[in-house]
Chain A
Amino acid sequence: MEEIKLSAHNLNLFFGKKQILKNVNIDFIKNQVTSLIGPSGCGKSTLLRTFNRMHDLSPEAKIEGTLKLENLNIYDKKNSVTEIRKRIGMVFQKPNPLPKSIYENLSYALKIHNFPKNEIPQLIEKALKESYLWDEVKDEFKKPAVKLSGGQQQRLCIARTVVLRPEVILMDEPCSALDPISTRKIEDLILILKKDYTIVIVTHNMQQAQRISDKVAFMYLGELIEFNTSENIFKQPQKDLTKNYVNGHFG
């Protein structure tokens, strides 16, 4: 039986007067990778950022509908946004390491969330190994994180997210700023991580979506057009819009 980890029900999102998301209903299954695809401006990144309440930063954003992490209502005022973000991690489009050392980038979240001091080094080592970064940085923990290459920085950002053992990882085009080799490394990593985490990823790259996803959601102009297994979306799309997009006949 597939277990629903994360869901949106009747989700509408407005920026000022402009409606960005239109009545989106979607469920994300535990330990699966779901890709959100669609042309620029279709609302896929916006959708992703609703789940960890990143829109809280923009005063003009207004959200209607129900979003749930298992049975927890994400936008309920009684629930702690801090707690939710601890359980739903996020990796951004451009690597955004903290202006601190490599080690501090990883220890930061553990410290603010009061993990026991003596456990921190092991947790960091584990996260770095999971992110395939351990061998590259183990001798230079004190180096400023910004000195790493782009691909390394992005894997550091993934390690920084997994070190907290979240339940869900949201990824917003994590490879768009990277070279093909780094991209490949991160894709491999995603496939390994899904054993422990539920992953939702926004991508522009059809091949990438095909390589890594269990499910694919195609969005267009703020609406969820089609949501199915990766195989169905790419081999037998039900809607013409989807077909045109996955075949590359799209603006």
Chain B
Amino acid sequence: MSIKKREHTDWLLKKIFKATGLITIALLAGIFLMLLYNSIAFFADVKPLDFFTGSQWDPESNKSKYGIAPLLVSTGLVTLGAMLIAIPLGIFTAAYLSEFAHPKVKTILKPLIEMLAAIPSVAIGFLGIVLVGPGIAKIFGIANGLNAFNGSVLLAVMALPTIITISEDAINAVPLSHREASLALGANKWQTIFKVTLPAALPGLIAAVMLGLGRALGETMTVLMATGNAAVMPKGFLDAVRTITATIAIEMGEVPYRTTHYFALFAIAVILFIITLIINLLGEYFANRLRKFHA
């Protein structure tokens, strides 16, 4: 091949590679527009006000009701519970790993955390049915343990690896000089960790929590299997709940094509999409702040 031909090949391939980059933008836009397009058909049938304020989700009855509130509250409740468990557990573990763990212990623990992350969500959901749910039922003396609390415990387990890994990176990124300065001023190791290291890593810790939160919010199989799937407004953690993701998973398989009900599922999906997008953008914002802070 002549040099001209070789340079032409290079030019052509660069364009092709660039096109794949553009495809990622098109994909994100395509997903959003697809959801939006189908939602518009829904809002032609159902008033947006009824959708956002209605307290019942009951598409199957004669007077089908499409209130997203119980689904939103369910999603929020399960996720809140998951975060209450996973945030302290995850950050403490990350602090232990980066500040105390012997390097050898670390080389064992880190793959273990990756193993935890690798377990498929359907297997975690299965354990919610056969192990965690019955346990909860026994402890609280209720008929069955398929409720919001069960979902929270399982989602916490699923969010943990994300929170631990990113928090550990954030803590490791705190410059040694910060800690040395604190120690030199006479602070002990504990004061240094809680008063200097963790606050300095805070933006990164928030980013970690946001990513864990995003993962928990978007999880489908676990909550579908373990939370009882009652589409009514929950009163507490021991009530059965039905999240947005579970609703889509249950109803999309049975709903007739291009009916109001079908479009309704895209409408709740677009809400979920926007919520996770905001969470991700927040996470990114804090991750960037951490980067700038240390640069």
By a beta-carbon cutoff of 8 Å, the part of chain A in contact with chain B is: 80, 82-83, 86, 112-114
Contact = CB atoms under 8 A, between A and B. Distances in A.
Nearest to B4: A80
A251 to B, nearest CB: 26
B7 A82 contact: yes
Interface string B1-41: 11110110000000000000000000000000000000000
Nearest to A114: B1
Contacts of B4: 80
Contacts of B6: 82, 112
Contacts of A86: 3
A202 to B, nearest CB: 28
Interface of B: 1-4, 6-7
B14 to A, nearest CB: 13
A161 B114 CA distance: 46
Nearest to A82: B3
A52 to B, nearest CB: 15
A80 B7 CA distance: 8
A83 B6 CA distance: 11
A114 B6 CA distance: 11
A158 to B, nearest CB: 23
For the complex of A and B, the 9 pairs showing the least CB-CB separation, nearest first, are A82-B3, A83-B3, A80-B3, A82-B7, A80-B7, A114-B1, A82-B6, A80-B4, A112-B6
Given A80-B4, A82-B6, 10 more contacts: A80-B3, A80-B7, A82-B3, A82-B7, A83-B3, A86-B3, A112-B6, A113-B3, A114-B1, A114-B2
A80 B2 CA distance: 11
A113 B1 CA distance: 8
A83 B3 CA distance: 7
A85 to B, nearest CB: 10
12 contacts: A80-B3, A80-B4, A80-B7, A82-B3, A82-B6, A82-B7, A83-B3, A86-B3, A112-B6, A113-B3, A114-B1, A114-B2
Nearest to B1: A114
B112 to A, nearest CB: 33
B11 to A, nearest CB: 11
A160 B6 CA distance: 20
A46 to B, nearest CB: 24
A59 to B, nearest CB: 15
Contacts of B1: 114
A82 B6 CA distance: 9
B7 to A, nearest CB: 6
A56 to B, nearest CB: 12
Contacts of A114: 1-2
A211 to B, nearest CB: 37
A112 B6 CA distance: 9
A86 B6 CA distance: 13
A86 B3 CA distance: 10
Nearest to A86: B3
Contacts of A82: 3, 6-7
Contacts of A83: 3
A112 B7 CA distance: 12
B103 to A, nearest CB: 28
Nearest to A112: B6
B274 to A, nearest CB: 34
A81 to B, nearest CB: 8
B9 to A, nearest CB: 11
A164 to B, nearest CB: 13
A83 B1 CA distance: 13
Contacts of A80: 3-4, 7
Nearest to B5: A114
Contacts of B2: 114
A38 B212 CA distance: 53
Nearest to A80: B3
Nearest to A81: B7
| Residue in B1, B2, B3 with the greatest tally of chain A CB atoms within 10 Å | B3
A114 B4 CA distance: 12
B90 to A, nearest CB: 37
B55 to A, nearest CB: 55
A14 B6 CA distance: 30
A76 to B, nearest CB: 14
A113 B2 CA distance: 8
A157 B4 CA distance: 26
B118 to A, nearest CB: 31
Contacts of B3: 80, 82-83, 86, 113
A165 B1 CA distance: 19
A80 B6 CA distance: 11
Nearest to B6: A82
A109 to B, nearest CB: 12
Contacts of A112: 6
A82 B8 CA distance: 11
Contacts of B7: 80, 82
B75 to A, nearest CB: 43
A82 B7 CA distance: 8
